[in-house]
Amino acid sequence: MQDQIDLIMKSFIADCGYEPASEMFDRLSPGKKLRSKLLLNIAQKDEKSLRLCAIIELIQAASLLHDDVIDESSVRRGKPSINATYGSKNAVMLGDILYSKAYFELSKFESCIAAALSLAVTKLAVGELMDVSLSDDFNDDASKYLQMIYLKTSALIEEVARCGAFLKFGGAENRGEISDMSRTENEVEIPSAAKDHDKISSASAKFGEYGKNLGLAFQIIDDILDVTQSSEALGKPSLSDFVEGKTTLPYIYLYENLDDSERQKLKSFFKKQLCQSEISWIKTKFSEHGIIERCINEARAYGQKALEAVAEFKNNKLEQIVRDMIDREF
């Protein structure tokens, strides 16, 4: 699956007719393609869904290119970032090429799919702007953090899930296959009334709710791993989020549990290159107050909300996506 998507993505960039762009694109580190796996586990795998996956991965890659420039990150997935190798100007322009090509290819899809993903990218950009703003000072407001990660991370996953539902249900209607829906033994039968727009909208909303909560859980887990994993496992320095000015959920909850002098000490470490004794102090406080366990439980709660949203469809693969994402080595 990943190889097929990668080939489509490369063909999209080759269409631009500028070899340096293809060269830089080839240097990007391939991700796990969570969003593509989600789409293909909702909709059937065919040429159309694979092309949509390639578009989604172009959008995701573009957002990471811009994110690395904003954060001045020199490493992405254990390899030198594009901005570190080719400079920030080239990284920004490559991101723009990926975005614009994605939108061009997206224009060939149904208007509801194009609108959904375009809106998600708008939210992503607003979330990135909010992330930059929050990095100015230590943020102790969990609601602001959750709003930011919804916009920056979760909104795209939400709309990918909604698009998957449209390809499965609305797409089947367009192909004249609505009565069968290519049902597997693990899926409930979708009644013929699903031809009705309201039925398709209802299914899309439920899958969107799954994607929204999956995205929130995903980002919380990602932020936990920045604290708990080694630099080797992360492919970047441990605790780099805090050093870069990102007050993620573990730090917000830790701040809530500290006394005034400890709060000032934690704040003094914000956006600072930490020495080993400072890292040890932070990790000791995380342990003393059970912060990591609290954050993991919150991620699990969002995962459970995701599963409840699509329980009626009895899709075991969607359950496994949630399990694989949350039940990791911390």
pLDDT one-digit tens code per residue, 275-298: 999 999 999 999 999 999 999 999
With a cut of 60, say whether residue 146 has pLDDT above it: yes
Length of the chain: 330
- Last residue of a domain, which of 109, 129, 154? 109
Burial class (CB in 10 A: 0-12, 13-18, 19+), 83: buried
Q: Is residue 125 located within the same domain as residue 27?
A: no
Task: Decide: 231 and 237 in contact? Cβ < 8 Å.
Answer: yes
DSSP, res 270: T
- Sign for the CA dihedral angle at 319, 111, 171, 52 comes to negative
Cα 108 → chain centroid: 24
Residue 195 is predicted with a pLDDT of: 55
- Last residue of a domain, which of 109, 135, 169? 109
Alpha-carbon span 161 to 229, nearest angstrom: 29
Q: Is residue 89 located within the same domain as residue 170?
A: no
Q: Is residue 50 located within the same domain as residue 164?
A: no
With a cut of 70, say whether residue 181 has pLDDT above it: no
With a cut of 90, say whether residue 157 has pLDDT above it: yes
Q: How does 11-46 read in b/e, with b if 16+ C-beta sit within 10 Å?
A: ebbeeeeeeebeebbeebeeeebbbbbbbbbbbbee
With a cut of 50, say whether residue 14 has pLDDT above it: yes
Domain holding 121, by residue range, is 110-330
Q: Is residue 169 located within the same domain as residue 295?
A: yes
Residue 193 is predicted with a pLDDT of: 45
Q: Is residue 214 located within the same domain as residue 260?
A: yes
CATH number (domain holding residue 84): 1.10.600.10
Q: Is residue 265 located within the same domain as residue 123?
A: yes
Q: pTM to 2 decimals?
A: 0.90
Q: Is residue 103 located within the same domain as residue 137?
A: no
With a cut of 80, say whether residue 234 has pLDDT above it: no
Q: Report residue 269: phi and psi, to 5°.
A: -85, -10
Per cent of the chain over pLDDT 70 is 92
What residues pair up with 79 in beta bridges, in sequence order?
76
Q: Report residue 46: phi and psi, to 5°.
A: -150, -175
With a cut of 70, say whether residue 107 has pLDDT above it: yes
Alpha-carbon span 20 to 39, nearest angstrom: 31
Number of folded domains that form the chain? 2
Q: Is residue 75 located within the same domain as residue 147?
A: no
Q: Is residue 12 located within the same domain as residue 114?
A: no
- Last residue of a domain, which of 109, 142, 162? 109
Give per-residue pLDDT as tens, 17-50.
999 999 999 999 888 899 999 999 999 999 999 9
Q: Is residue 63 located within the same domain as residue 160?
A: no
Residue 231 is predicted with a pLDDT of: 77
| Closest C-alpha among 61, 43, 46, 45 to residue 6 | 61
Residue 171 is predicted with a pLDDT of: 56
Residue located via tokens 């970032």: 81
Residue 177 is predicted with a pLDDT of: 35
Q: Is residue 28 located within the same domain as residue 65?
A: yes
